[in-house]
């Protein structure tokens, strides 16, 4: 039975798991972790853990089998380490990933500083793992009409570049965006590049929330990237994975600044900044902590053989604790939460790409704000190049050295500044 069969088994187990007396789905129970009511969060935490425990032996076997399959393939193909295949796919040197990981782990203190502030804002003596996503008071309830959302996004894009604004406007004027929520419409949001001879199409489900405006900006960034890269043809237009989120996250950050200008109330601004900080944490610090977990289990599987649920739990607890430090009290139950994360099964090693993309964008934004000569023109050239070269060559015009800690630290400095701006 091949690796794909164990992945299918994992998917079926997770899809059929029921949590709590109400027999809820994974999505339903995890959504309660965002409740302002602590008792609801605690119940969700308990229900989710108990549900995972009912199938932990099966999930453990799935993990062990996929890990061993990867080890065999890596040995046959003579890859130097468990991550080399993913790095080769991403066209990224092993050294670059090592530098990225070290920079992020060396800045775990930013996570600790933020969650200590959040604990004080929430008025808690201790912040437990089930409190991490508790909402900060102040997020506005107002509904932003579609035309106003369009104005906010295009204003931010025009402020950055006339070219960006004009291309973005075409998406609205030529009806390349499907926005209304309709029965039977797929959920989520995406931009589809189609083919170079045509143009991209964007799907969002716009309900008027502030987050929907940011999602619109994100997908429009993808759309503009896909539109610009058409010139290099079908085979070269698809961007290497680490650069695939460059335009989308960049656009999202431009619009976030525009949204902040809209609100003067300090509580509202604080809540918006906290929401953005936590989103960035999920993309940068959490993904690198998960990379550290993967590194531990892949290497342990190759040296020790099959791993027990307790060993998986120990690696998960230790790598998460390293990130949170003393700012978040991790419960014993949390040590079982490694078992539901599908990326570990579907795409071993993939997770660092999220952190790579986010920090790349934050560093580029820093260059833009510092007034690097010809930044806008170089940035448009970067997006227009699609995937015709590897990331090193594509970023050369910016004088970026991906193996230099100073580059990654510039992005981490931006995150630290955002955390410092959160007033308790």
Q: Are residues 104 and 199 in the same domain?
A: no
List the beta bridge partners of residue 203.
178, 190
> pTM (2 decimals)?
0.94
Angle subtended by helix axes 162-173 and 146-160, to nearest 10: 150
68: helix, coil or strand? Answer: helix
Q: Are residues 365 and 348 in the same domain?
A: yes
Share of the chain above pLDDT 70, in %: 100
Smallest CA-to-CA distance from 394 within 284, 250, 240 is with: 240
Residues 45 and 43: their CA atoms lie apart, in Å, by 5
State the pLDDT at residue 1: 58
State the pLDDT at residue 289: 99
> Which of 1-15, 51-65, 351-365 has the lowest average pLDDT?
1-15
Close Cβ partners of 322 (under 8 Å, ≥ 6 residues apart) = 105, 108, 289, 292
Residue 105 has pLDDT above 70, yes or no: yes
Q: Are residues 277 and 198 in the same domain?
A: no
Per DSSP, 144 falls in state -
Place of tokens 């425990």: 53
pLDDT per residue as tens digits for the range 319-378:
999 999 999 999 999 999 999 999 999 999 999 999 999 999 999 999 999 999 999 999
Q: Are residues 384 and 292 in the same domain?
A: yes
pLDDT per residue as tens digits for the range 266-308:
999 999 999 999 999 999 999 999 999 999 999 999 999 999 9
Q: Are residues 195 and 291 in the same domain?
A: no
Confirm whether 286 is domain-assigned. yes
Confirm whether 247 is domain-assigned. no
Q: Are 298 and 311 in contact (CB under 8 A)?
A: no
Q: Are residues 270 and 405 in the same domain?
A: yes
Q: Total structural domains in the chain?
A: 2
Angle (CA) 337-218-93 rounded to 5° is 65
State the pLDDT at residue 2: 76
Smallest CA-to-CA distance from 286 within 336, 345, 355 is with: 355
Q: Are residues 153 and 132 in the same domain?
A: no
Residue 187 has pLDDT above 90, yes or no: no
Confidence of residue 240 (pLDDT cuts 50, 70, 90): confident
DSSP per-residue codes, 13-57: HHHH--BTTTTB-HHHHHHGGG-S-HHHHHHHHHHHHHHHHHTHH
Smallest CA-to-CA distance from 309 within 21, 124, 58, 99 is with: 58
State the pLDDT at residue 40: 98
**324 lies in which domain range?**
91-140+263-424
Residues 322 and 32: their CA atoms lie apart, in Å, by 26
CATH number for 392 = 1.10.1370.20
Q: Are residues 281 and 301 in the same domain?
A: yes
State the pLDDT at residue 252: 95
Q: Is 23 left (phi over 0), alpha (psi -120 to 50) or beta?
A: left
pLDDT per residue as tens digits for the range 362-413:
999 999 999 999 999 999 999 999 999 999 999 999 999 999 999 999 999 9
Q: Are residues 150 and 272 in the same domain?
A: no
Close Cβ partners of 376 (under 8 Å, ≥ 6 residues apart) = 160, 161, 368
Confirm whether 398 is domain-assigned. yes
State the pLDDT at residue 302: 98
Confidence of residue 142 (pLDDT cuts 50, 70, 90): confident
Residue 123 has pLDDT above 70, yes or no: yes
Close Cβ partners of 146 (under 8 Å, ≥ 6 residues apart) = 179, 206, 208
- Across the beta sheet with 190-192, the strand order is 177-178, 201-203, 190-192
Confirm whether 10 is domain-assigned. no
Residue 73 has pLDDT above 70, yes or no: yes
């Amino acid at each position: 039975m091949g690796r794909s069969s164990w992945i299918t088994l994992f998917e079926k187990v997770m899809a059929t798991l029921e949590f709590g007396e109400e027999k809820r789905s994974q999505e339903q129970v995890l959504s309660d972790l965002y409740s302002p009511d602590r008792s609801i969060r605690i119940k969700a935490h308990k229900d989710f853990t108990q549900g995972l425990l009912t199938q932990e032996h099966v999930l453990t076997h799935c993990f062990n089998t996929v890990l061993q399959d990867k080890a065999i393939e890596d040995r046959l193909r003579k890859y130097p380490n468990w991550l080399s295949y993913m790095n080769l796919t991403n066209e990224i040197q092993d050294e670059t990933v090592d530098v990225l990981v070290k920079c992020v782990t060396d800045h775990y203190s930013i996570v600790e500083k933020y969650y200590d502030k959040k604990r004080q804002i929430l008025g808690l003596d201790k912040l437990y793992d089930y409190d991490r996503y508790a909402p900060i008071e102040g997020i506005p309830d107002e509904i932003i009409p579609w035309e106003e959302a369009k104005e906010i996004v295009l204003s931010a894009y025009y402020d950055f570049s006339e070219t960006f604004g004009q291309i973005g406007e075409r998406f609205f004027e030529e009806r390349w965006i499907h926005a209304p929520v309709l029965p039977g419409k797929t959920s989520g949001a995406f931009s589809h590049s189609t083919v170079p001879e045509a143009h991209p199409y964007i799907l969002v489900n716009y309900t008027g929330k502030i987050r929907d405006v940011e999602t619109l900006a994100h997908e429009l960034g993808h759309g503009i990237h896909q539109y610009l890269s058409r010139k290099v043809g079908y085979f070269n237009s698809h961007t290497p994975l680490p650069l695939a989120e460059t335009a989308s996250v960049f656009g999202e950050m431009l619009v976030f600044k525009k949204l902040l200008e809209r609100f003067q109330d300090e509580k509202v601004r604080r809540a918006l900044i906290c929401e953005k900080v936590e989103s960035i944490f999920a993309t940068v610090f959490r993904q690198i902590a998960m990379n550290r977990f993967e590194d531990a289990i892949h290497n342990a599987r190759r040296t020790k053989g099959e791993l027990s649920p307790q060993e998986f739990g120990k690696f998960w607890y230790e790598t998460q604790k390293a990130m949170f430090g003393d700012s978040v009290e991790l419960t014993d139950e949390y040590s079982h939460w490694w078992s539901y994360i599908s990326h570990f099964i579907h795409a071993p090693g993939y997770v660092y790409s999220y952190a790579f993309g986010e920090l790349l964008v934050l560093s580029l934004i820093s260059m833009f704000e510092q007034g690097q000569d010809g930044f806008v023109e170089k940035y448009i050239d970067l997006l227009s190049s699609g995937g015709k070269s590897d990331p090193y060559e594509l970023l050369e015009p910016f004088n970026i050295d991906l193996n230099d800690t100073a580059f990654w630290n510039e992005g981490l400095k931006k995150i630290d500044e955002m955390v410092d701006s959160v007033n308790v």
